[in-house]
Amino acid sequence: MSKNIISILGPIGSFSMNNIDYHGVQLVDIVSKISALGAIKDLTVEIGSPGGSMPVAKAIRSYLKGIQPRVDVTTKQVGDIASAGVTIMTSGNKRLAAKGINPDTGEAFKWMVHNPSTPHVSGNSAAIQKEADELIALENEMTLMFVEDIGTTEENIRPLMAIESWFTSEQAMELNFATGSYDIKNNVAFNDMSKPNKDQGLLAKVAALLGITLAAADLSMFIGKPAMIDGKPALDGSYTIVGGIITVATGSEVEPAPAAPAPPPPSASVEQIAEVVKAALDSQKVAFDLQIVELKKGITSSHAPVSFDPSTSADDAKEFDRSLKANEHKAMKEHDLPKFQRLFHAKYGRLPN
């Protein structure tokens, strides 16, 4: 499995729906994450998205397609994928569907494709016709993208998009939306390598200039656990590590990597140290700001409404979807807030912000 991993989670792009503003993944986020990985030969893009802005999804898809074949891109399902999210998912050389139960929904992983739509239809007949013409053009463009990515025909894909088709991971493989699958229960947990610890990297650079040896971390948490290389248990043997890179691996299948360059001499001046710090901070400011945004997205509450009943969770989640399609959410929030909170909690496992 690739060590170079980025994630596309949540809505795609920024848009408004049912008087709610959504601020999701943008092309600049993807470009920043991949640029931070440096020169790579392979990339895994984890995707779990309900969809969103098709123009943004098209831009992300074009970017991922553009770095191929220089980079072997694998897209990997880690949540339900719908609409614009599927458009990005099919851009990979290899496309892995998730088998098993989605821990966020308690149900099997799902896929969904449909024709594009817009919540902003208003005005006279000319304005509405203009909007319809743009949707038809986008529909045709999406169809051709799927034809190119999954090797199907227009006659096969158009009926699926016309009726808003939901299907399982197994069906995604049968339809060639996915080229393979993996069992999520046996998937090894990992950190998002697209967001390395920037502060630690900066600290190491300054320490190298000063000739300081950083204190080792507490390794007691790893005692008794197998050593892992590329997500697999390491074979018995001797390993030499320089600068965090395995340079000699006797008895293993790991190919020797080139030795890390020697650190600068410890006689650095204050000006040199300041220059290293400034350059690192300047180059990492955008990535750091993106980390803060993503951390804020992850702040949720597990508190449930007083009227929440786990036995009605499935029905409440379905009622949430129905009321969303019927555009009833705004009225429900104004006139029956406890009900809105209950349905929202059943759907997403948390209270609305």
What are phi and psi for residue 82, nearest 5 degrees? -140, 155
User: Alpha carbon 49 to chain centroid distance?
Assistant: 8
Torsion sign, CA atoms 97, 103, 109, 115: negative
Reported as a single tens digit per residue, the pLDDT across 105-155 is 889 999 999 988 776 667 777 877 887 888 888 888 888 889 998 888 888
What are phi and psi for residue 266, nearest 5 degrees? -75, 5
Q: Tell me the mean pLDDT in the region 23-31.
A: 91
The pLDDT value recorded for residue 190 is 33
Instruction: Report the candidate in 86, 241, 232, 224 with the shortest Cα–Cα distance to residue 160.
Output: 86
Q: Tell me the mean pLDDT in the region 83-92.
A: 93
Question: Which one-letter DSSP state was computed for residue 352?
Answer: -
User: Is the link from the previous residue into 265 a cis peptide, with omega within 30 of 0?
Assistant: no
pTM above 0.85, yes or no: no
The yes-or-no verdict on residue 223 having pLDDT over 60 is: no
Please tell me the number of Cα atoms within 13 Å of 121 on its side-chain side.
13
| Whether 263 contacts 208, CB under 8 Å | yes
pLDDT bracket for residue 335 (50, 70, 90): confident
The pLDDT value recorded for residue 213 is 43
Q: Could you give all domains of the chain from N- to C-terminal order, each with its CATH number?
A: 5-186 (3.90.226.10), 212-262 (no CATH), 310-348 (no CATH)
Q: Tell me the mean pLDDT in the region 69-86.
A: 93
In this structure, the strands spanning 165-168 and 110-113 are antiparallel
